[in-house]
Each structure stands twice: as structure tokens, then as C-alpha cells.
Structure 1
Amino acid sequence: MLKVALCQTLVSDKKLNNLENAYRKISRAAFNGAKIVSLCEMFNCPYSGQYFRINAEEEDDSQSVDMLKKVAKEWQIYVVGGSIPELCENKVYNTSYVVNPQGEIIAKHRKIHLFDVDIQNGIRFKESDFLSSGNEVTVFDTIYGRIGLCICYDIRFPELIRKMSLMGAKMVFVPAAFNMTTGPAHWTTLFRARAIDNQVYMFGISPARDINGAYTSYGHSIIVNPWGEILNEGSEFEDIIYGEIDLDYVDKVRNEIPIYSHRKPELYNK
């Protein structure tokens, strides 16, 4: 069994405080036996356009990435670094870094689908006013198996998660800051659906809810197994959510309902 931990942190407008809090949470999770630990979307600054550029960091000069490398190496764990605003050639990306137990970056995902929505009587938000989009599907190898990685709104595009599974992913991590309109409506359903669709473990990692902050996240970080069962789900408060993962169970489910051998891709592109 593989122990995984999701750190649902309360994010403030003080970057150093956020980094220190994330470091403590990751360390606690590792102390409790987690071998893969993930942070939430935008763990180093509030999920609000006004904070992205002023907190953006270049990969080679990043306090946030340095912290991820340090804590992963200290505890000999894999760290999925939620996401941070990444500055590159004067563009800002919503970027997740993955660090291995040697403190090396082994994967990097720039959010592909930007959250540009206008929901009547709900939220209006345009990420494209502040962020640029990535253009690569991200999967990476660990000693435990192959893992897929995407960010928040990316989960709403089933083709993306399916491509990850076809590339060999048995687990998919999704740092995500769903809001109080879309969270109650779609959070649980999306994670269960993607787990069932692709017969993978799905992990949703949210910031804790801050009703007085610049952005109010839904919270409820979640772990769903390949059968669509919720193994663990957090509340709205700051917490660490743990799950015991059996990757042999992925193979069991795929053998029992062999959707991959039943696919007819020649029909889907018409």
C-alpha cells in the first residue's frame, strides 16, 4: 500500500508565511508515513488575478521551488507542488512542479485550460486576463508508477485525463481551487466521473476556505479510487487528507471492466 497525503492549506497574501506553512504541512505528512505529498493550487499566494504577477517566480530563482526541493530531499518523498505563478519571458503561467526524493524537478505542468467563465448569479472570472496557457499533457514516472498531473479547470476536459491514462497513468493529481459556485455543484461529481471513466485514482487538492480572503475556495480535498468510491474527503478547513493506495486495484478494475480493450477510437474522431 502507498500512503498519499493532500495538504489543504490556508493561503494568505504573505508569501513567506504560505511557504513556511506548506513546509510544515508536508513535513507532518511525511512524518506520518506519506510517500507522495501534494499541495493545493496557488499555494504561495491567493488565487486572485491581482496577486499572480507580483508573486510570480522564475524557475531558476524561486523561493517556492527551492522549498519544494528542500523538503522533498529532507524527507525522501515525492512532492507535487500544487501550483504557483511562474514567470517566463514576461508571461505568467499557473504552474505545478513535481520534485523527487533527491530534490530534483522531474515534471512541470502549466495549466492548459484557462478558467474564463461568467455564471449568472455566480462567479465571473477570466484567468486569461492574467495568465498564459500551457500546451503539454503531463505524465511522469515514479518508483510507484506513472502519474498524471493537471490543474483545476483542466479536469473538465475528459480527453485530457483519458490521454494521461492511455499514456500509462494510474494516478492523477489535480491541484484545484474550485469556488463556492462550482465546488458544491461539480467538485465531487467530476472527480468520481474521471476516476470511473479512466479507472484511475484521482486526487483533488484545494486550498482551505477563507471567507475573508480575496478568493473563497470550496475546500473538500478528495481522494477517489478507480471504482469511483471516495476514500477520503476533507472539510472546508485547513487539514491534511490521507489515503492508502493499492495500484494493483487499478489492474483489478481494468480487468473486470476492460474498457481499454473495448474502445473504438476509429469512431471517436469522426
Structure 2
Amino acid sequence: MKFRTAAVQYELADISSFEQFAEQVTHYVRNASEYGVQFVLFPEFFTTQLLSIGDETGKALPIERLPDFTTDYIQLFRSLAAEYDVYIIGGTHVLEIADGKLRNAAHLFHPDGKVDVQHKIHLTPVEVGDWNMSPGDGLEVFKTAYGTIAMLTCYDIEFPEIVRMARAKGADVIFCPSCTDDRHGFYRVRYCCHARAVENQVYIVTTGTVGSLRKVDFMRSNFGQAAIISPNDIPFPPAGILSEGIINDDMLVVADLDLALLEEVRAKGSVTTWRDRRTDLYPDWS
């Protein structure tokens, strides 16, 4: 099984209406479709751009108002997935759950209109302390026409156990939307993406926000780069990078993923990290 995926380095800038947001999103999906992709990945927290629309005084909306846009967000991405016949990982969007708690949720939009959701499992101090978010309490993998995928958001990728669980459930590709504000955070996520690809012999598709929301707290600075990452073995590029963007530029990257190559290296690669895990010495997180 082969398919083509794109990852968007989404440029954040203050806007004044949902229509502006929709125009920018549509531009990226249309651009990706011109390359014949089957999947498009957007970054974590890119819908915080909607907070810059502001209230009647011009002040940015608080994070608690972001769920107000959920219906329009879902309608936009469902229509784009259907129109362009692609799977879209719509980055993450903030949802409100019981008792006023918020969740940071990755969404998978299928071409047939189905929508899958994976709540972020590991939360950063800002998400907990400043944005009153609560963590997801389970991991799912998702069947598509091109195989099984998982969505693990930013900080999630820094925890080996959860990626091991995704692989044990059958995921061959991990989509990792991210949002980091400086080099330290960016490289934590990026290096962990490479480690998880090596450990589990999977593809990792990741991207982050770029640009700046001058009105929105915690989104005034972004440091991001998209990358499509493979295991480090002979069928793949030596650095395990199938494609990567230019840091902090407004752009998208594209690469082809061959799932048969994953099976090949799992069976008879230079190393067989998935097969050789020592479950007699440490737990099998499956």
C-alpha cells in the first residue's frame, strides 16, 4: 500500500472573521490536492487564530470561547475532505466537555463525512494551569482506505509508551500535530518523532504552527517545521527524513509513504526493533 501525504506549516496571523480562516484553510487543502495527496495534516492549536477575531472592543477572545466555533470548524473540514476526496487531520481544536472543562482534540475528517476524534493525552503546564484543560483518557487508532493511523499531539510524542500502544493496535503512521513557541520545544518534539519512528518502525508525519497571533496569549511566538519521518534503515533516506519544510516559512511538504517497506524492515531490516522488544523484561504496552 502506497499513499501520498502533505503536512502544512500553517502561518498564524490575526484575522477579523471566520471567513478569513476558511479561506486560508481552503488554500492549503487546494494546494495539497494539486500534488495528488490522500492525507493532509494541519498543526496543533491552529484554530486559536479564531480568537484573534476579538470581541466588540477588539480584545482577543479567551480560550473558553474557542468551542463556540466547533460547528463551523467541523462543517468546513468535512466539506473540504469531501470536495477534494482526501483525509484531513484538522490539527487540533479545543472542545468543551462536562463541567466547563476543555479538551485539546485532534480530528480526522474522512472523505465520506465521518469524523474521528482523539483527545490529547499528555498536557503541558500551560494547557492545565492557564487554559483549564483536562487530558484524554484513552488511545484509539483509526481505519482508513490506506491503512491504520493514530493521532498523537505534540507532547504525546515525547512518551514512548503511548506510541508503542498505537503500534500494538496496528498503526503504521502516526500523525503528530504540534505547536511550539521556541527552538527548545520544537526540537524536543522533532527528536522524539525520530526516536518513535526508530523504536516502532513506523512513519511519523508532523507539523507545527508558524507566524504570530499578536492578540492571543501564549500564541504570540511560534517556531515550526513540517517533516515526514521514516525509520532509519536501508530502504529509507539515511537521516530518516522523507521531506521537511523550511523552518518558520508558510508552506507545505509532501512525500509518499510505502507501507510495504515498513513490513520489510520489521521482518528483515538491519535491526528489527519492533520484533526484538524484550517483553520478558519490561511490559508490553499493547
TM category, shorter: 0.7 to 0.9
- The letter for the 2-side match of 1:92 is L
Partner of 2:110: 100
Deviation at 1:13, TM superposition (A): 4.3
What corresponds to 2:279 in structure 1? Answer: 265
Determine the structure 1 residue equivalent to 2:8.
7
**Aligned: 1:37 with 2:9:** no
Given candidates 199, 202, 205, the residue that maps to 2:204 is: 202
Task: Name the SS for the 1:173 alignment partner.
Answer: strand
SS of 1:259's partner is coil
After TM superposition, list the pairs within 5 Å mapping 1:171-250 onto structure 2: 171-183=173-185, 185-210=187-212, 214-227=219-232, 229-235=240-246, 236-250=248-262
Higher relative contact order (CA 8 A, sep 6+): 2
CA contact (8 A) 2:211 2:221 kept: yes
Alpha carbons 1:52, 1:92 under 8 Å: kept: no
Alignment length (residue pairs): 259
The change in CA–CA distance for 1:66 and 1:191 in structure 2 (over 3 A counts) is same
Shift of residue 231, structure 1, vs aligned partner:
1.2
Aligned-partner residue type, residue 25 of structure 1: Y
TM superposition shift of 1:260: 3.0
Q: Is the 8 A contact 2:266 2:275 kept in 1?
A: no
* Deviations, residues 143-175 of structure 1 (Å, cap 9, x unaligned): 111001111111110100111011111100010
Q: Structure 2 counterpart of 1:267, which letter? A: L
Q: Residues of 1 paired with 2:28 and 2:8: CA distance?
A: 6
Preserved contact between residue 96 and residue 102 of structure 2 (Cα < 8 Å)? yes
Look up the SS of the partner of 1:25 in the other structure. Answer: helix
Shift of 1:127: 3.5
Q: CA deviation at 1:50?
A: 6.7
Asked whether the equivalents of residues 45 and 51 of structure 1 are also in contact (C-alpha less than 8 Å), the reply is: no
Question: What is the distance in 1 between the residues matched to 2:68 and 2:261?
Answer: 39
Q: 1:126 to 1:72 in 2, by over 3 A?
A: closer
Q: Return the alpha-carbon distance in structure 2 between the equivalents of residues 23 and 226 of structure 1.
A: 32
Identical columns (%): 25
Shift of 1:181: 4.1
* Alignment equivalent of 1:65, drawn from 49, 55, 74: 74
Distance 1:199 1:237, change over 3 A: same
Q: Secondary structure at the match of 2:81?
A: helix
Task: Report if the CA contact (8 A) 1:223-1:243 is conserved.
Answer: yes
Q: Given the two structures, how large is their TM-score scaled by the length of structure 2?
A: 0.83
Q: How does 1:121-140 map to 2 (within 5 A)?
A: 125-130=126-131, 131-140=133-142
Q: Which one is further off, 195-204 or 256-265?
A: 256-265
Distance in 2 separating the partners of 1:42 and 1:184: 15
Q: TM-score, normalised by structure 1?
A: 0.88
Matches of 1:30 and 1:126, distance apart in 2: 33
Which residue number corresponds to residue 152 of structure 1?
A: 154
Whether contact under 8 Å (1:112, 1:154) holds in the other structure is yes
The structure with the larger Rg is 2
Q: CA deviation at 1:210?
A: 2.7
Secondary structure at 1:267's aligned position in 2?
coil
**Which stretches in structure 1 are left out of the alignment for 5+ residues?**
117-124
Q: Within 2, Cα distance between the matches of 1:26 and 1:238?
A: 14
Contact 1:7 1:40 in 2 (8 A): yes
Equivalent pair of 1:223/1:230 in contact (CA under 8 Å): yes
Q: Shift of the alpha carbon at 1:221?
A: 1.1
Shift, 1:46, TM fit: 4.4
* In the alignment, structure 1 residue 115 sits paired with structure 2 residue 129: no
In structure 2, runs of 5+ residues without a counterpart are 52-59, 233-238
Change (3 A) 1:47 1:259: farther
Distance 2:186 2:83 in 1: 37
SS in 2 for 1:147: strand
Structure-2 change in CA distance of 1:47 and 1:55 (3 Å) = closer
RMSD: 2.3
How far apart in 2 are the matches of 1:180 and 1:140?
31
